[in-house]
Amino acid sequence: MVTEPRFRDLAASGYRVEVVCKADAYKKGPNWHGVWILRAVSDDGVEKLLVTARTRTSRNDIKIREIKTVTGVISFLQGIGFSHADIPLEEGKRTVHKLSSEEVAARKT
């Protein structure tokens, strides 16, 4: 489990970023809502879940970061350096992203 700064570093170092849909997306007005989590996955299958900066709940549990809108997922991926976003809309589905060498280079400037 990692917080956002480490997650960004993992993506830049070659980890794949998986967007996992935890609840079916639905349209409310002009926006799409649902529940998505993100994980960084190494080439040998090691997974690192994105957690909130305040990782402890009142029961001292670790809190996985959940993103509640498509716009939130897009903003997070763009902030890492991705120039595109593929977002699953059905519970249980996932999509995989990997920064290109151009995206990694642009992130460093």
SS3 per-residue string spanning the chain: CECHHHHHHHHHCCCEEEEEEEEEEEEECCEEEEEEEEEEECCCCCEEEEEEEEEECCCCCEEECCEEEHHHHHHHHHHHCCCCCCCCCCCCCEEEECCCHHHHHHHHC
Residue 4 CB coordination number (10 Å): 16
106 lies in some domain = no
The answer to whether residue 101 is domain-embedded is no
Tokens representing residue 80 in the block? 């890492």
- What's the whole-model pTM score? 0.89
> Quick check: is 24 in a domain?
yes
Domain count, the chain: 1
Answer whether residue 57 is part of any domain: yes
Q: Is residue 89 part of a domain?
A: yes
pLDDT computed for residue 40 by the predictor: 98
Judge contact between 105 and 32, C-beta under 8 A. Answer: no
13 within some domain: yes
The answer to whether position 102 is within a domain reads no
What's the half-sphere exposure (Cβ side, CA atoms, 13 Å) at 33?
4
Mean pLDDT, 10 residues at a time, the chain of 109 residues: 94 97 97 98 96 69 92 97 96 97 82
The verdict on residue 51 lying in a domain is yes
Domain around 17? 4-96
